[in-house]
Amino acid sequence: QVQLVESGGGLVQAGGSLRLSCVASGRTFSKIGMGWFRQGPGKEREFVAAIRWSSSTTYYADSVKGRFTISRDNAKTTVYLQMDSLKPEDTAVYYCAAQIYGLGNAARNYDYWGQGTQVTVSS
């Protein structure tokens, strides 16, 4: 079992930055893959970024590549999403997720989810 708690969301103007954090507990954090997803108003949940347990490999959606950075601190059992150059279309509830085996961009393959944190980008 893995528990995930996100924080760091809020209201920001377009062009601004936010850093989301996700603290994990309950299982050996250093051995699981972590991802961020988002769900905007009236939209389906979509993949944002993912990182392997060793931090050697990261994946990004094309829509955020070059603007968002995923990282993790295994000692603190925390994964981060640094979001720069934010756009109004980034407005969504952002979810942290854990995948016990493997890593990818399909939400159905993730085993545990946080409750989400709201990010609102004003124009």
Higher pLDDT, 16 or 56: 16
CB atoms within 10 A of CB 87: 14
φ, ψ for residue 75, nearest 5 deg: -65, -35
pLDDT average, residue stretch 77-81: 95
Query: Given 3-state DSSP classes, what are the helix, strand and coil percentages for the chain, each rounded to the nearest 5?
Result: 5, 50, 45
Mean pLDDT of 33-61: 92
- pLDDT tens profile 93-119: 999 999 988 788 999 999 999 999 999
pLDDT digits (tens, 9 = 90+) for 12-42: 999 999 999 999 988 777 778 999 999 999 9
| 71-80 burial: b if 16+ Cβ within 10 Å, else e | ebebeebbbb
The answer to whether 6 touches 115, Cβ cutoff 8 Å, is yes
Paired sense of beta strands 18-25 and 3-7, if any: antiparallel
Question: What band does 55 get if pLDDT is binned at 50, 70 and 90?
Answer: confident
The separation between the first and the last C-alpha atoms of the chain, rounded to the nearest angstrom, is 40
